[in-house]
Structure 1
């Protein structure tokens, strides 16, 4: 008989929203109810997306709004579980920019995200996501022609070099806040880079500080990886460097984690002996902006307290099934290493 695993498993609020709206007290009550329901299921933490703001916004004011949100969580009794954050950079906040002023405003933006992560997550919080290069911003030539293949690799290599000094400052700031940074590589149809775990590790080779590492996403590995041998090498390399900070468990279609095309045995047999952090169940629901940005044709999992029931199933049922599935898969690997 298969038993369940006791590993820490978090749930991503990508099921519900991409914006916590920290100034909206009424919406905070909805988030609190989601936290309670997921906690009762057995999830031991949550991952929340910190929505970007327009360039020129007041970072200090924004950070203060998250202090108030955390206070609401605490008063409601859901602030005792760990919170991690998902952060992305944008074209307006780009630390790979060749322009010093743009890198400076991007660094200020990312430092504010570290501050928010520390507020929500407390000690040893994790900030993960595509925050090295702006998500979804594909380069073009001066004539407006897209840059691909070898030319794109050369272009990205220079952007990584340009980002090093600003990223070093970000790492130093994260150390003062006790926040772990986990860069997530994302598949090439979503963003030009980094696409591979190896590309993130290559970038980090010059950084001695271990708070900077990688987040490994099962969907990205299945859809974008070079294969099982590459996966094994990358896990071993990240582990040896103490840079394997977070593992996102997500189906290739970003939908329900249950009967999904996830090679559980291959993935978990490599990860379990070396990974000690939390696993994150990540389901992208068909809510804005994911429905358009990820071209979702599937229906929305209805969110209790927010949507009317639909034939596509309840977000809570999907979350419960995902938790049971991952626990069983982890237990199976533990029983038969």
Structure 2
């Protein structure tokens, strides 16, 4: 299944924005749209589900926590707030008929000034275990998207993520690989894919270019990455993700440092990315 992130189309999720994002995703040839459920309470689930059905699209959701909801904090009140936010996100995926929630579920999405503490990491592991139990009751898989060092201090590599998942000890928790972050933190794209696959935890993939723009115009080693996916027989979701100041989300623009206008036409970007995947990745043809 080939997906596209909703922020290619819209920074918010009013009915007008949702209709445009879902319709445009279908028109550009995608099977799935990934919504940015930063605050699940802002989503009209019945409206969104209706539009998804109307255009024949599947859905996934992702989010990152903030300072007030950071489950890797040592502050129990912040951890509890984060757990409530994550529970709401799982419930939203359920209400939309989806089966996947990913992203930085394990901590704040943003720069830290110190390493995660042992207590904070333990809080994060426990939070994901509790969330996984809730998600399992709805048939939902959780994907832990490890990010670069400037966006999290908990999980930066595939190896760290697999160790974390092992500690969580829930079968519905998987590794969420993102080429943008891998291009910063991994020594080998192939080794990362093979390690996740060997552990049975290669669950979801984001394809993003090194500069967050159009695929194939940066420094990501696409041949190595797609060859590795083919080598392990990956047949899960691959979602195109790109950010530009043209489409602004008030939270993500700051936490992801989206300061430049890398593209202005979402449809042109989406069609180009879909064609790139069709030519370079066998499962996307």
1:33-44 alignment, distance < 5 Å = 33-44=20-31
* Aligned partner (choices 4, 7, 10) of residue 17 of structure 1: 10
Q: 1:292 to 1:134 in 2, by over 3 A?
A: closer
1:276-287 alignment, distance < 5 Å = 276-286=235-245, 287=247
Whether contact under 8 Å (1:47, 1:84) holds in the other structure is yes
1:69 is matched with: 47
Q: 1:74 to 1:17 in 2, by over 3 A?
A: closer
Instruction: Tell me the distance in 2 between the aligned counterparts of 1:186 and 1:220.
Output: 5
Whether contact under 8 Å (1:96, 1:103) holds in the other structure is yes
Q: CA RMSD in A?
A: 2.4
Q: Where does structure 2 lack aligned partners over 5 or more consecutive residues? A: none
SS at match of 1:190: coil
Q: 1:199 to 1:298 in 2, by over 3 A?
A: same
Instruction: Tell me the distance in 1 between the aligned counterparts of 2:211 and 2:108.
Output: 22
Aligned residues: 281
1:135 paired with 2:97, answer no
TM-score, length of structure 1 as denominator length:
0.76
Whether contact under 8 Å (1:133, 1:194) holds in the other structure is no
1:223-256 Cα shifts (integer Å, max 9, x gaps): 221x12xx43432232123211111000011111
SS at match of 2:211: coil
Q: 1:105 to 1:294 in 2, by over 3 A?
A: closer
* CA shift for structure 1 position 110: 0.6
1:87 paired with 2:80, answer no
Which structure's residues are more often strand, by fraction? 2
TM-score, length of structure 2 as denominator length:
0.89
4+ runs of 1 displaced by more than 6 Å?
none
* CA shift for structure 1 position 212: 0.5
* CA shift for structure 1 position 209: 2.1
1:143 is matched with: none
1:1-337 alignment, distance < 5 Å = 8-20=1-13, 27-52=14-39, 62=41, 65-73=43-51, 77-78=54-55, 80-120=56-96, 122-123=97-98, 125-139=99-113, 147=114, 152=115, 155-225=116-186, 227-228=187-188, 231-274=189-232, 275-286=234-245, 287-288=247-248, 289=250, 290-299=252-261, 301-302=263-264, 314-331=265-282
SS at match of 2:261: coil
Q: Where does structure 1 lack aligned partners over 5 or more consecutive residues? A: 1-7, 21-26, 54-61, 140-146, 303-313
* CA shift for structure 1 position 222: 0.9
Instruction: Tell me the distance in 2 between the aligned counterparts of 1:234 and 1:172.
Output: 27
Whether contact under 8 Å (2:244, 2:259) holds in the other structure is no
* CA shift for structure 1 position 160: 1.5
Instruction: Tell me the distance in 1 between the aligned counterparts of 2:126 and 2:261.
Output: 44
